[in-house]
Amino acid sequence: MSVMPSSIDRDEPKPAYSLARMQVDDLPEVMTIENDVYPFPWTHGNFLDSLYSGYEIWIVRDSAEALAGYLLLMLSVDEAHLLNIAVRRDLHGQGVGRLLLDHAVSLARGKDMQSILLEVRPSNERAVNVYERYGFAGIGVRRGYYPAGASRREDAIVMRLSL
């Protein structure tokens, strides 16, 4: 009895993605994603400050050259801090976030960092799950770290990935 492979088993072409350092000219597209995926997005000025500070700031584009996502990584002594990471909403669950996390880890290891830290909202369960599956572990809580609207604040889960 022969079994036909499912579409999951076939070698179907996957979209090609390319990584590049973020440039000022990328900011309009970055801001579109940032404003779409975050309830309290970074400002244009936050991104400019990060660019001018020399952080590791990378974008990923799809095969049509559309911005698919980005990451901002600050390197400090022996620890990297993942400041911001985002994937275009229509690409969630398609491996772009994993590609960005892999790149962040590669950058950190290349600079002899011992770990990567990040903060994430407890209410962002999808992100918490992604980070846990990747190997990040919760190490603490920053009380009232994030704005939550109407003069409220939300805690942040602090997570670390040992390299």
* pLDDT over 80 at 19, yes or no: yes
Whole-number Å distance between alpha carbons of 82 and 113 = 12
Please report, rounded to a whole number, the percentage of residues in the chain having pLDDT higher than 70.
Answer: 91
Confidence class of residue 15 from pLDDT cuts 50, 70 and 90? low
Whole-number Å distance between alpha carbons of 144 and 125 = 17
**114's tokens:** 């011992």
Domains of the chain as residue ranges with CATH: 18-162 (3.40.630.30)
Digit-coded pLDDT (tens) for 86-125: 999 999 999 999 999 999 999 999 999 999 999 999 999 9
Side chain identity at residue 42, one-letter code: W
* pLDDT over 60 at 18, yes or no: yes
Confidence class of residue 14 from pLDDT cuts 50, 70 and 90? low
Contact 103/116 with Cβ under 8 angstroms?
A: no
pLDDT (0 to 100) of residue 9: 46
Q: Average pLDDT over the chain, rounded to whole?
A: 91
Burial annotation 15-54 (CB, 10 A radius, 16+ → b, else e): eebebeebeeebeebbeebbeeeeeebbeeeebeebbeee
Confidence class of residue 2 from pLDDT cuts 50, 70 and 90? very low
Whole-number Å distance between alpha carbons of 67 and 32 = 10
Burial class for 128, CB neighbours closer than 10 Å (0-12, 13-18, 19+): middle
